[in-house]
Amino acid sequence: MNSELEQTWEAVGGDQLAFSGGAVIDDRLVRTVVKKAEDATAVLCAIIATGAYWSDYESTRIWVRSIERLANPTYPTAVNSGYEPRLLPALFVMYAAGIGAVAGDRYEVLRAVLLDPQIRQYESESPVVRVLAPTMVLTKLVASKLADMERHKTPLSAEVQAFLLPLVRPVVPGEGDYVRTFDRFEYLLSLINVDVQLQSDKKTVAWVPIGCFGWRASNREALDREIERLGQSWPPLKAGLFDGALDRVREARTYVMQAIHQSGIMFS
């Protein structure tokens, strides 16, 4: 695992994927950068998805370390929101770990994967859930330059979904189950992101990450029904997410639904 992580770092870590100053961000550049990130992280994503599916909380250190290693360039710098291909490897690995954890009902592992790794920006640190989301890494306009994504509602999210599909088959073998698990993870990612913002010093929500779950309403609504049916017994709450508070889940959901409606993503 450590060997594969270091090989990935050598191939795409640090600033290697950054858009250089003055570069024309055209179809060729975007596709080349994303393909390089995918090729370098494929084995690592497969390992981590399987590991997260089977691991207990005590075994999460290596998944956390992998995400944190890839999420930080050679020195702390500001994140250039929406134009940060440097974060693609960390995004892919975080998604793989999160999907594996959700597929295995390992919500303590999910909590560690999203909240423990830190992204360093100058004098501050933030949990990766605050920064690692498709629209924060590449804007919709940039990601739409990927092949067959010109008219997609959530292009980078869809690219990540397609990329990880064959890599997580050992733990999510059916494509239908995979899509449901993918949406469940992304919806949880969004809810946790909003909750972290609301619990910060500013207590405001600056942005809401919306992935494929935003327009695949049936999968999102299934999770909503599960939350209301199980209440305080909902497994993510029992694992310590949202500090175990059902009201915080509901509050975060309100912000997420507002963002989905405002984006028009369900109707475009």
Residues 112/60, Cβ–Cβ less than 8 Å: yes
Is residue 268, in this structure, part of any structural domain at all?
no
H or E segment at 127?
strand 124-127
H or E segment at 126?
strand 124-127
Is residue 229, in this structure, part of any structural domain at all?
yes
Mean pLDDT for each 10-residue chunk of the chain (268 residues)? 94 92 90 98 97 89 94 80 94 98 97 95 89 95 96 96 97 96 98 97 93 95 97 97 98 97 77
Instruction: Determine the structural domain holding residue 36 and report its residue range.
Output: 2-263
- What pLDDT is stored for residue 56 in this prediction? 85
- What pLDDT is stored for residue 23 in this prediction? 82
Query: How many structural domains is the chain composed of?
Result: 1
Neighbours of 29 (CB within 10 A): 16
- What pLDDT is stored for residue 117 in this prediction? 96
Helix residue ranges per DSSP H, the chain: 2-12, 27-54, 61-71, 88-103, 107-115, 134-137, 140-143, 155-164, 175-199, 217-230, 235-238, 246-263
Is residue 168, in this structure, part of any structural domain at all?
yes
User: What distance lies between CA 248 and its chain's CA centroid?
Assistant: 20
- What pLDDT is stored for residue 76 in this prediction? 67
Residues 6+ apart with CB under 8 A from 94: 67, 71, 113, 114, 117, 128, 132
- What pLDDT is stored for residue 177 in this prediction? 97
- What pLDDT is stored for residue 159 in this prediction? 98
Residues 143/134, Cβ–Cβ less than 8 Å: yes
Is residue 178, in this structure, part of any structural domain at all?
yes
pTM: 0.96
| Cα→Cα distances 250→45, 172, 180, 194, 211, Å | 31, 28, 21, 11, 19
Is residue 197, in this structure, part of any structural domain at all?
yes
Is residue 250, in this structure, part of any structural domain at all?
yes
Residues 113/67, Cβ–Cβ less than 8 Å: yes
Is residue 58, in this structure, part of any structural domain at all?
yes
Is residue 184, in this structure, part of any structural domain at all?
yes
Distance CA 111, CA 241 (A): 6
CA torsion angle for 178, 184, 185, 187 (degrees, to 10)?
Answer: 140
